Amino acid sequence: MNAPTRCSGGARERTNCMADAMNDATIAMEQIGGRTLRTAAWRLDMPSDHLPILFFNGIGANIEAVAPLAAALPERGFIMFDMPGTGESPDPLIPYNPFTMSWTAAQLLGKYGLDQVDVMGVSWGGAMAQHFALQHPGRTRKLTLIATTPGMAMVPGNPAAFTKMANPRRYIDPEFMNEHFATLYGGVDKDGAAHQKDSHIGRLKPPSPRGYLYQLMCMMGWTSLPALPFLNKETLIMMGEDDQIVPVINGKILNAMIPRSRLVTFAGGGHLFLLTHADESVAAIREFLDAPDIAAAA
């Protein structure tokens, strides 16, 4: 029987769940490949019939922003880290790229003795998840891509959303977030928006200017499009139909290019449908990950 989904309900319940999720995590500052990274791991020392999840976060987002997802999948181990200059990871000294950060993530898995994981990423982290699966296919079983694109070959979203997304005030100014939340993320109704805004802004810690700049630079010129036909992993693509930043057409492109992929869209879902449609999102993820591995069966 599937474990019950946690981190649903109203804003207060979600806030309490986030605090509980962080209390359940093992937080460490790890030295990996010459970098110091703040890492969070859930349930890696507990026996499980499921592979743990390696999660890549969105641009500028810290561990706390996605901690409720780790709590919502209590039957699985879960591991993620703050990118350099994000959350509590120190500023990077030199720029990095998808290859070096995928190698760093693989080194982190080695520190925990993990040979294989299910890989997941949201938005900017979805591009990292694609690159990790291509660079380390032996460590990747299944791939979940959330509100993401094939990189520079993406179909752009609402220009108003991009200009406001580039403004660092979205991380530190609740009034700015409240005013522009629908433009930035879409997919919220008028009554539910206030709860989602307050919950989201409370989880974010602004990245350093260098950290944010280096994350932007990391994906400049990068695209997975030519390699996607060779991405021989079962892949779940999840998109919000009202996403102002990553239009749903990008998910359709990924679905068309990745041989063993399926696309799930969320009506009324914006860029943050993992929050606004939490129960439906977790149900789709769990169904996908729990399904028998077609390649293993063959």
Catalogue the active-site residues.
123
Q: How many CB atoms lie within 10 A of CB 148?
A: 28
